[in-house]
Each structure stands twice: as C-alpha cells, then as structure tokens.
Amino acid sequence: MINVNKIREDFPILNRMINGKPLIYFDNAATSQTPRQVIDVIVDYYTNYNANIHRGVHTLSQEATDLYEQARAKIQKHFNAKHSHEIILTSGTTHGINLVANGFSSLLNSNDEVLVSALEHHSNIVPWQMLCERTGATLKVIPMNEKGELIMSDYNDLLSKNTKLVFVNHISNALGTINPIAEIISKAHAVGAAVLVDGAQSCPHVQPDVQALDVDFYVASAHKMCGPTGVGLLYGKEEWLNKLPPYQGGGEMIDEVTFEQTTYAGLPHKFEAGTPNICGGIAFGAAVDYMNAIGFDAIATYEHELLEYATNALSEIEGLRIYGTAKEKTSVISFNIEGIHPYDIGTILDKMGIAVRTGHHCAQPIMDFFKIPGTVRASFAFYNTKAEIDALVNGVNKAKMMLS
C-alpha cells in the first residue's frame, strides 16, 4: 500500500509554485521527478568521490570505481541479467538502440527483413531505417488497430525465415499500450530472429525479468525511473554482445593499441568508450534502490487506480476523445477536444500550474494513423494524487470553455 503523502515529501520539486499555483506534474512519460534520496547521492559523489574510474591507483579513483560497479550490479539484479557484464551503461535508451543498430550493420544483407511496430517512438524507427539503408535490408511494420493495440495476426504473417530482427516497445509512450512482448519474443525466436525491446516507458511501472522474457536486448533510461538524465542501460545476452563490433573507439574499450592493430577489451568495457557519466551511473543505482523500496507491485496497483479514476473523469467531458484504449494499458492518457488544438489546451493548463505534454510525442506515425496533429498527454506516477486529477479535469473544462 502506497502512502502517497509521505512519498511526496521525498520530491522537493513538488513544492514549487508555477504561475502562482502549486505544481501538478503530469509529464512523467517524458521524465520523472527525482527524489531527495537520489539527489543526495549526486551531491555526495561530487563532494567526496569525484574521480575517473577503472584507471587510477589512488584512493578516490578506486572508491569511485567501486561505487560505479556496485551500481551496475544493482541494475543487473533489478533486471535479473545473468551476468553483470551484460549490463552496458549508456547515455540513455536512444544510445542503446543505436549501439545495437550499428552493430547489426555487419550482420545483415539485402535478403534480410527487420520488423518494427506501428507504436514506436522515433528513436526506435529512425535507427532501423538507417540500418536498412546501409545494408539493403527491408523494414516492415507491425500494424495497430483503433484501440492502439498491435494486430498480432499480422505480426504472425510478417514473420519469416528472412526476419532477422524485431524491435518493439514494451509500453507505448504516446498511448500507454502494454505490448505482449513475451509472445512477440517467443514467435520471433521461432523463426531465428533476435528481439530488442525498448523499455523506456515500462521500467517506471514494472520490473522486467530479462531472463524470464528470454529477450536478446533490452534498453531503458534512468531519468524515467526517478534517476538523472544522461544515463541508461543496454542489456544484451552475452553471446549477442560478443558478436557485435564496438560502437565507438576510444579509451577504456581497448585491450592493446599499436599503430598497426588494436584489440578490444571484454564486456562490458568493449561498449563503454571514454569517461562515462560516473555520477549518473551511481545515481541510477540509487534510483533503482528507491523504487524497489516502494515496491513495483504497489506502484502498479496505485497507478492503475489513478488511470481508471482519470479515464472515468475525463470521459465525462463532452467532445473529449481518448486515444489509446487498449485492454492492457499503463498510466498514460492521450486525448483531444474536438475543434481545439492540443497545444492551446496545454498552454492554458500550464497557466494553472498543470504540466502536461502536447504534440506528437516523437511518435508521428501514431498521430498519422489517427489523422490528428497530436494530443494532450497526461501521464501519472506513484507520487501523483486523485486531487491533482480533479484539478486537471477542472482545468480541461476551463480550457474548453475559453477556447470553444
């Protein structure tokens, strides 16, 4: 059971006033807020441990290295990776996706096919388009229906012996749809294809078990799960990571360097060229600790209550349409009011201290499917309240009255 009032005390930003009103933060799908427990770790690092890692014999370097690798171990345990070296610390989800796409450039040819879903964020579309341009492989799309669900019968039809890669998000950032990734992974493996799951939107809400899923690659960002920006993870099965060439060249990712030849370091360092976001990695581990202390079952239960409450309340507004009505869905509501541009609604809500996202949410193909320019997106986290949802509903009604 979540004590939301106690949890809210952990988030200093929730005490801010915006345009003279208490902040109501409903843009969690873009980035979550950061609790004091994680902020304190960031301050502590720069106060007491700031040094480069993996290279120094002095005390600060060794202490910083230990903290960084302890964080990697926490992340490994959280995602249930078999080995800590299967956790590559990246700058975020986009970095992880591009790392894998770059690696497959040497593994695909013009007879191969790559599948992506119609529900993807641009960061899980553009890298694969670039990959297909480099290799001559064909990009195919798993279609969606009016509810915002993938049409799995069409996915079955698209799979073939030519399918080498399948890429799908765990949860849609634009609609909140929870995709059946276990089924998608199993069916892809049946034809010999590898699978990458974009977990940026799922990790704040669920605790993925990468071994149970049998997923080949899984990517996520710390800043969507109470951590800092500029750090994330790529999980990859050891055998796949060993097949892929390095993504970047530089320090740390080498074994030996001469002007004639370079040999590369083992995992995970092969993919971690240069000085990493050391503080960010350590704070990522602290964010994982924080969320696990609350408990993902409790988070999921409470956020589902918020989703149902908000869905019912917003549905009472005449002319309001919710996009994304999948049976399996997380705490995201995308909506429009007939005849009113979403940007205008978002602007008026901001004047009331209510932060929502407007636009296509880096998921333009979804908006094209519905033939709309974008939506207003309200996305809820475990530190939000039903009273805040009531304020959102009142704000939307006020915006409607002003703009109609």
Mean pLDDT, to the nearest integer, of 145-159?
98
The full set of domains in the chain, from first to last, is: 4-30+295-403 (3.90.1150.10), 39-293 (3.40.640.10)
Per-state percent for the chain, helix, strand, coil, to nearest 5: 45, 20, 35
Whether the CB-CB separation of 389 and 164 falls below 8 Å is answered with no
Mean pLDDT, to the nearest integer, of 12-24?
97
The Cα–Cα gap between 70 and 281 comes to 10
pLDDT tens profile 54-90: 978 899 999 999 999 999 999 999 999 999 999 999 9
Tokens at 115, concatenated: 């599948």
Crossing angle of helices 386-403 and 296-315, in 10° steps, is 30
- Residue 153, SS3 per DSSP: helix
Task: Let me know if 279 is a catalytic residue.
Answer: no
Whether the CB-CB separation of 144 and 192 falls below 8 Å is answered with no
pLDDT of residue 363: 87
The Cα–Cα gap between 104 and 135 comes to 9
The Cα–Cα gap between 173 and 200 comes to 8
pLDDT tens profile 350-366: 999 999 999 889 889 99
pLDDT of residue 232: 98
Spot the catalytic one: 203, 226, 279, 362.
362
> Measuring CA to CA, which residue among 239, 264, 400, 283 is closest to residue 335?
400
Assess whether pLDDT exceeds 90 at residue 246: no
* pTM tops 0.85, yes or no: yes
pLDDT tens profile 190-234: 999 999 999 999 999 999 999 999 999 999 999 999 999 999 999
